[in-house]
Structure formats: structure tokens, C-alpha cells
A and B are shown apart, each in its own frame.
Chain A
């Protein structure tokens, strides 16, 4: 994600530019501080945490907090660490991302090329749904899922993520398809392509960039979700964020801050990894989600 600055490079450093660099570096330090504290705290033992400055580097590296956070830390009476949460999060995220991206691509395609009377009315309703606070919908939705017999199960949480991911994904797919040359579509029609054929042979092969953006948006969004996982996933499928919160917020026993911080880092590894690998795409996802339809 290297961008070459436009215009000539400034010839020499002026006082103003030195001030500028000082200021931006201070801002960067502020933004990095919590990450730094998180990492060094996870590498200290509890005696050092109690005795020393939170910002000091560890005198002795201690790694015992990491395996403990992963497989032994307790939530209530169960002491299995974050591992089950990680597995659950993977089980929730992978199918949810696939289903929601596929469905939204189809929606976007139908909206962009096969408009029918009323289609945009429902699309507007759907976009409106993106802004309704979850709290208004959790209870009735819980009742609907209960009626369907999938409340508190893996299919239940996958359906919920598909529903709440749909507005924004449909929007970005529709916008992307609307920006494709319409002649391409017309040519495919003249060649006898129907709805399904054009989608699979013309549209999908061109959708790689927008699909990457959508997948990144969904992976980070679903992995970071807390509320929906808490309500809809059920006790056996609690995602990592919920278990992290349970581990850190225990009411009894001695708080082990190094274990807490290891657990916190472990939970954010997936979205951070996605972010650092895909910086440019991540930014595109934000921009695509922010523009109006």
C-alpha cells in the first residue's frame, strides 16, 4: 500500500516541517500505546505487573500467560481458555461470510441489471434496516428463530449475521455492478444469456475486487461481533469475543492481567491479521460502505 506523494519533494526541512513530524509522531505514539501496553503486559509476570510501571518493558520475559489464556483460563466453572471460543468463531464466521456475500452479490446483480417495479422500494427498506439499532430487533428476531426451531444454534447465528450483513453488502455490490458498462450486459442478453447464465459466466468472473472488499468487511465485522453472538449463538457456540469478556470480567479470584491481555491479543489477531495483510482493500471497504447509494 505504498503511495507516492504527488509534487516535488521539499528541498530542506523547515522548522514547520520538523514541528509537523513531531506532532504526527506523537499522535502515532498515542494510537500505538494501547497495543504496546497490551503486548508488554502479556509478557510480564504478575509480580512485575504489580510492582512496575505499566509502560516499562518487561525485565524478564515470561510466556506462561499465553498458553494459559489459550487453553486454561476460566470462565465461570469451565477452564478451557479461549480455544473453544476461537473454534466457535471460525465455525460462525466462515459460513456466515460465504452465505451473506453470495446472497448479497445476487441481490446486487438483480438490482443493478434486472430492475422490476418495486425492487428499489424493498432495497430502500433493506438499507433502512442497516440503521435500526439491534436492540429493537433482537427479541422479535429471537421469537422468529424460536418458531423456526433454530434459536441458540449455529444455523441461527449464521442466519442473523446474513440478515444484518445484507444491507451494506447489497449496497456495495449494487454500486459496483452499476458502474460496469451496461453494453456488456446488453451484449450478453443478445447472445441469449438468461438471468442465471449471465450471473455465472459474465458477472461473477468480474466481481473479484468487490468480493475481496465484501469478504474483508464481513470477516472483521462478524469476528468482532459480541451482541449477536451473545444472544443468538447459544451456550455451546459462544464466539471468541463473548468468551474473552467472560474470562476478563470474572468476579472472583485474583485478576491476572497478563492472562487477560494475552487473551485480548489472541481475540484481535484475526482482524488485525486481515487488516495488515489487506490494508488497501480494508480502506476500500470503509469507503465503499460509507458512500450512499
Chain B
């Protein structure tokens, strides 16, 4: 096929090709290359092997960041899935005011992470927030000092994040539920299967592709969580709620420790690949293979 055939389309796609190669591929190569140097304030080509990675894994702060991202990732993903699915099932019960409820459950998703963080920071304020309300209503045993508690602050982040993201899962699941054939419901009711049982054991497995898509999208977003935590806790108390993304940004822009930042960012990238690879392999390779046979 001569090069000039279909030349207009090639020119039209040139920006995409250039951006894919220079930004998406180029930046990763650049970051990896400089993660093998001891760059401080400016990138310098002073090869030190995997020293930066070794140093990274020895940092207490990095350990905390990794631990946090696992807690956050687990609680946020599970929380979003359970609450999102539950809300979708509730809305699917032919209730009145369906669109009103759907609007209410989804509006947080339209808000930015910064706004979400700041609102929950105020609601969970240890002096004036919900804890104080409960005390004023006579429930003096009630404790909600999560934001100032080293062990619980990360769960406050999870609550804010689930509040923001559950509506997204609900929309996906609701689309799936609406696509379920009426005949399946009929046969289930003829068999006399309890409704909650049919949802969990029959309908949920049928929604598996949607659940998988939701998990992958949520999990890929988990790795880059940054602004929410910055607004809600600023990584505190101390560095109790710091995350890999914050660690990278700090080393880039306030600690002038570029080598560390590059190394940490490459680890973030590898973890995203680990999340995506099995899914992509299944979606694009296995499915095509079976489809062709």
C-alpha cells in the first residue's frame, strides 16, 4: 500500500500519533531513564543503577503511602461496588420519584475532588462537625475524631471517596439491570426464588462484565488519588494519610529530589499495568480468539 494513499486520514491522526509517542510512551521512557540517576534539582545523567529504588523501599514514608493506597483501594472499591449495586437495586424496584433519587445519588460525582475533600473536612471537623452534633443531641459516647486520628484518618478519606463515587457504579449497574430480560424475572418468580436471592445469585453473575469494567476503572483511579487527600487531610496527621501520588509530587516540586520522584512514579506506573494487563488480555485477546473460533 503506497504511503500517500489515504493521506488525509494519516494527516488527521498525526496529532494523536505524535502525542501517543512523545507524551504517553516518551514520558515513561524519560521517567524510567532518569529514575536510574541521582538527579536532585535538575535532571542529570549520572547513572547510579537501581539505587533510587532501593532507597525508596527503605523509606518509612513510602511504606505508609503504599499501605494507605492498599487500604484506600480496598475499602473504596468494595464500598463503591456494594453501595452502588445496592442503590441500583433499590432504584430498580419500580419506585416513585426514581429520577429524583438517581439525581441525588449521582450529584457528588459531578463535584471535584477538592470540593469533596473540603466539604467532608468540615463535616468531620472534630470540634464543630458531626461529633459535636451528636454530643448536643445527648449521645456523648459518640466519637468521630477520624481526621485527627493517625489510624482512622485514611478511612475518613474512604468515606468521602465512596460518597463521591458510588453514584458512578450505580449508573453502570442500573444500565446492566435494565438490560436483563423480563423472561428471566418471570421464570425466577415462577420458581419462587426470593428476590434478594435472585439478585445475588442470578442477576449479579449476569452483570459480571459490568462489575469487571467498574472495578478496573475504579482501581485505575485509586492509584492516582491526590487532590482528594490534599484537600481533606493534606496527607496528615503527620504523614499518616500520604499516598504514592503525594510522595511523587512532594519529591518533584518541594523536595527537589527528582530521582526519587521518578523512581516512585515508575512504581506507580507498574502497579497500574499490573491492574490493567489481565483485564486487557481478557478483553482484547481471549475474547477475540473465542469470537473468531
A residues engaging B (CB < 8 A)? 1-3, 5-7, 9-10, 17, 20-21, 23-24, 27-28, 30-35, 37-38, 41, 49-50, 53-55, 103, 106-107, 109-111, 114-117, 119, 122-123, 125-126, 128-129, 131-141, 143-144, 163, 166, 170, 194-196, 220, 223-227, 231, 241, 244-245, 248-249, 257, 260-261, 264, 267-268, 271-272, 274-276, 279, 282-283, 286-287, 290-292
Interface residue from A33, A115, A227, A282 paired with B123 (Cβ < 8 Å): A33
Query: Once the chains are docked, how many angstroms separate the CA of A117 from the CA of B106?
Result: 41
Which B residues are CB-close (under 8 A) to A107?
12-13, 15-16
Contact between A131 and B220 (Cβ–Cβ < 8 Å)?
yes
Answer yes or no: B85 CB below 8 A from chain A CBs.
no
**Residue from B95, B244, B245 within 8 A of A20 (CB atoms):** B95
* Those of B234-281 within 8 Å (CB) of chain A: 234, 244-245, 248-249, 252-253, 258, 261-262, 265-266, 268-269, 272, 276
B223 CB–A CB distance under 8 Å = yes
Q: Pick the interface stretch among B50-58, B197-205, B224-232.
A: B224-232
Q: Is the CB of A54 within 8 A of B129?
A: yes
In the complex, 26 of the A-B residue pairs with CB atoms within 8 angstroms, ordered by the A residue number, are A27-B90, A37-B119, A53-B133, A54-B125, A103-B16, A114-B6, A123-B16, A126-B20, A128-B276, A129-B20, A134-B226, A138-B252, A140-B27, A166-B16, A170-B16, A195-B12, A224-B112, A225-B112, A248-B121, A267-B114, A268-B110, A272-B111, A279-B99, A286-B172, A290-B213, A290-B214
Q: Is B143 an interface residue (CB 8 A)?
A: no
A28 to B104, CA, bound (A): 6
Bound form: Cα–Cα A267–B268 in Å:
30
Residues of B within 8 A of A275 (CB): 106-107, 110
Chain B residues closer than 8 Å to A34, beta-carbon distance? 108, 119-120, 123, 163
A55 to chain B, nearest CB (A): 5
Identify A53's interface contact among B118, B132, B227, CB under 8 A.
B132
Chain A, Cβ-Cβ closest to B92? A5
Q: Pick the residue among A140, A224, A226 that contacts B31 (CB under 8 A).
A: A140
Nearest CB on B from A46, distance (A): 11
| Nearest neighbor of B225 in chain A, beta-carbon distance | A133
Query: Which chain B residues in 15-54 approach chain A with CB under 8 Å?
Result: 15-17, 19-28, 30-31, 43
In the assembled complex, B1 has its CB within 8 A of some CB on chain A: yes
User: Across the interface, do B115 and A244 meet the contact criterion of CB distance under 8 Å?
Assistant: yes
Is B290 part of the contact surface with A, judged by Cβ < 8 Å? no
A286 to B214 alpha-carbon distance, docked (Å): 11
B140 close to A (CB within 8 Å)? no
* Residue in chain B with minimal CB distance to A25: B101
Shortest CB-to-CB span from A213 to chain B, Å, is 13
By the criterion CB–CB under 8 Å, are B27 and A268 in contact? no
* 17 other A-B residue contacts (CB within 8 Å) besides A226-B227, A275-B107: A1-B102, A5-B94, A24-B101, A50-B128, A54-B122, A110-B9, A110-B13, A122-B20, A135-B244, A136-B265, A139-B261, A139-B262, A140-B27, A272-B110, A272-B111, A282-B110, A287-B172
In the bound complex, do residue A122 and residue B13 qualify as a contact, i.e. CB atoms below 8 Å apart? yes
Q: Which residues of A contact B158 (CB under 8 A)?
A: none
CB-contact partner of B19 in A5, A41, A166, A196, under 8 A? A166
B72 within 8 A of A: no
Q: Which residues from chain B contact A264 at a C-beta distance below 8 Å?
A: 115, 118-119
Interface residues, chain B, with chain A CB atoms under 8 Å away: 1, 5-6, 8-10, 12-13, 15-17, 19-28, 30-31, 43, 87, 90-91, 93-95, 98-99, 101-115, 118-123, 125, 128-130, 132-133, 136-137, 163, 167-168, 171-172, 175, 213-214, 217, 220, 223-224, 226-227, 230-231, 234, 244-245, 248-249, 252-253, 258, 261-262, 265-266, 268-269, 272, 276, 283
Which residue in A119, A122, A129, A133 is a CB contact (below 8 Å) of B223?
A: A133
Q: Is the CB of B115 within 8 A of A268?
A: yes
* B136 adjacent to A53 (CB under 8 Å): yes
Chain B positions within 8 Å of A286 at CB level: 109, 168, 171-172
Q: Which residues of chain B are near A260, meaning CB under 8 Å?
A: 118, 122
Which residue of B is nearest A133, CB measured? B224
Contacts of A117 in B (CB 8 A): 1
**B104 and A31 form a contact (CB under 8 A):** yes
B26 to A119, Cβ gap below 8 A?
A: no
Say whether B103 contacts A276, CB under 8 Å. yes
Residues of the B chain whose Cβ atoms lie less than 8 Å from the Cβ of A195: 8-9, 12
**Contact A5–B98 (Cβ < 8 Å):** yes
**Does the CB pair B268–A135 fall under 8 Å?**
yes
Across the interface, name the chain B residue whose C-beta is closest to A24. B90
A34 to B283, CA, bound (A): 38
CB pair A245–B213 under 8 Å, yes or no, is no
